[in-house]
Structure 1
Amino acid sequence: MDRVYVMQLVRSFQVGEISRRTFLARASAALGSVAAANLLLAACQPIQPESAPPPVVDEAATAEPAQAAPPPEGLITGTVEYPDPDGETLMGYLARPEGDEPRPAVVVIQEWWGLNDHIKDVANRFAQEGFVALAPDLYHGVVTTEPDEARKLVMELDMEEAVREIQHAIDYLLSQEFVAGDKVGIVGFCMGGGLALSTALVSDDLAATVAFYGRPLTPEQAPNVRSPILGLYGSEDGGIPVDAVNAMGEALTAAGIENEIHIYEGAQHAFFNDTRASSYHPEAAADAWEKTLAWFRSHLPTS
């Protein structure tokens, strides 16, 4: 893979020099995978004219890393380690309510920035709502606020291996006495939303899946999904066409797979991330959070 060429393609798409179709065709050839090209596209936002509000990636490029808030009282939080079958050590951030009472569990999948303080805060929020939440560290310790570095990390990430690591995180949760039942939920954001959907294609250990603005499954993939799907997207997402989101929902329904698709008018990509003022949409974020909690509470085992 010619990384410089791919980065040039990204830049050309962002400034409007090439169309989405052209970007996908060229990126697929360069990356050797249509899925990888789609994932990279979903993570990229077009760069708007100077008179327009600053795009998501421009803010992230200049923003200072947010200071981590102390974990709320009543929670047990911290880094955990767990093995994969090859003997390697994997890590993640675990948050859960105090006590030994078994709780429903969710896996929280990071954006393309890495396992940063925002994702840890999301895990804490789930724990405050009574869930056990594990955010696996798919970049193995690397976190960035620079869009160019984030793109490199996405391109270097082996997506099939990432799904396997997510499964190892699921296995770890299901081995814990403080986790209820024999299935868990999964939720992902941006890159993580696409990975959550990919995991739903192969894992029998999921009771429910939630994708925040993740690359939609194709109509051909949809019948293979093994858990109910909640999809949360913005109408103004420059990297994910609404038509593709609706096509996924229609294909899931046709295959008899329970699903709900919500598209928030006026919301951009990353509308849930409250650390990024240019894309955060408070109303959409609040509604999506309530829908996510309701989805998991209605589908996850509690004992």
Structure 2
Amino acid sequence: MQSIVLNYITEDDVSLNSCLYLPNDENTDVENLPAVLLFPEWWGLTEHIKDKAKALAKAGYVALAVDMYGNGRVTSDAQIASERMNELLQHPDLLSERVQLAYNNLRAVAEVNPNKMAALGFCFGGRVALDMARDGVDLCGVVSFHGMLNTQTPAQKGVVKAEILVEHGQLDSMCTLQNVDEFRTEMDAADVKYHIDVFPDTKHGFTNPQATENGKRNGADLAYNPVVAEQAWNNALAFLTRVLKA
């Protein structure tokens, strides 16, 4: 597996340092590989997200762990994380630019088949990935892990190209079961192909090994669930195999 820092610059000179992982160990003639964008939680481009990108590369995908905040910034402070996330959510043009840059740069990688791409996101990143689908970006699939399901731009019939998989915790207090029901209603109205897995007794952040500690530090309702994390990841791998490798 090869790893490369893929740097690109926004119009307002923010340096985004995303991490690209290639499945080939040497400079072979591998090409036309499926590719996956990974959008991180509000903490930023943490080792958790990089580890998931590495796992995808080992499974045969070109994977880009996306830097959304610039200079690879990360934090374990929920107030700082919230400020950075909300800065982008409150300025959709900035958010859209960073998403589009990540998408375009991954598409341009020589080994990538631009017709076999997916997006995967965690928490804030889940919202980002789902909004890519809502916007009609040319993706085969989108996966959300304990993602934010609400949006300012609901899906419209005939626009969404991606099939969607949502992995959600029943006890997620940051995105409730009511939000899940609202998401179902939105997807059904737009005739989107989707599936939702709801895991019992599971809280927000369940995939992240640091979630429980981060929750205690910040007084947030977070908890890592290794059993559910593995099950959800296997569900995602099966989904990606079907939509990208079939």
TM (normalized to structure 2)? 0.84
Of the three residues 110, 118, 124, the one matched with 1:177 is 110
**Aligned equivalents of 1:118, 1:218: Cα separation in 2:** 25
Percentage of pairs with the same residue: 32
Unaligned runs of 5+ in 2: 214-222
Deviations 1:85-114 (A, max 9, x none): 788753311111124412210000011111
C-alpha contact 1:181 1:301 (8 A) present in aligned 2: no
Q: Mapping of 1:112-123 within 5 angstroms?
A: 112-123=42-53
Q: Is residue 94 of structure 1 aligned with residue 2 of structure 2? A: no
**Aligned equivalents of 1:272, 1:78: Cα separation in 2:** 25
Q: Is residue 289 of structure 1 aligned with residue 233 of structure 2? A: yes
Bigger Rg, structure 1 or 2: 1
**Aligned equivalents of 1:135, 1:218: Cα separation in 2:** 23
- Secondary structure, aligned partner of 2:140: strand
Q: Is residue 131 of structure 1 aligned with residue 61 of structure 2? A: yes
Deviation (angstroms), 1:196: 0.9
Q: Is residue 233 of structure 1 aligned with residue 168 of structure 2? A: yes
Deviation (angstroms), 1:146: 1.2
C-alpha contact 2:3 2:21 (8 A) present in aligned 1: yes
- Secondary structure, aligned partner of 2:44: coil
More strand by share: 2
Deviation (angstroms), 1:277: 4.1
Letter in 1 for 2:232: A
- Alpha-carbon RMSD: 2.3
Deviation (angstroms), 1:262: 0.8
C-alpha contact 1:208 1:228 (8 A) present in aligned 2: yes
Unaligned runs of 5+ in 1: 1-74
Cα 1:260/1:147, change in 2 over 3 Å: same
Deviation (angstroms), 1:78: 2.9
- Residue number in structure 1 paired with 2:198: 263
**Aligned equivalents of 1:149, 1:78: Cα separation in 2:** 27
Q: Is residue 247 of structure 1 aligned with residue 182 of structure 2? A: yes
Q: Is residue 106 of structure 1 aligned with residue 36 of structure 2? A: yes
- Residue number in structure 2 paired with 1:15: none
Deviations 1:128-163 (A, max 9, x none): 111111022111022111112112212222344223
Letter in 2 for 1:244: N
Q: Is residue 214 of structure 1 aligned with residue 214 of structure 2? A: no
Cα 1:273/1:87, change in 2 over 3 Å: closer
Letter in 1 for 2:78: P
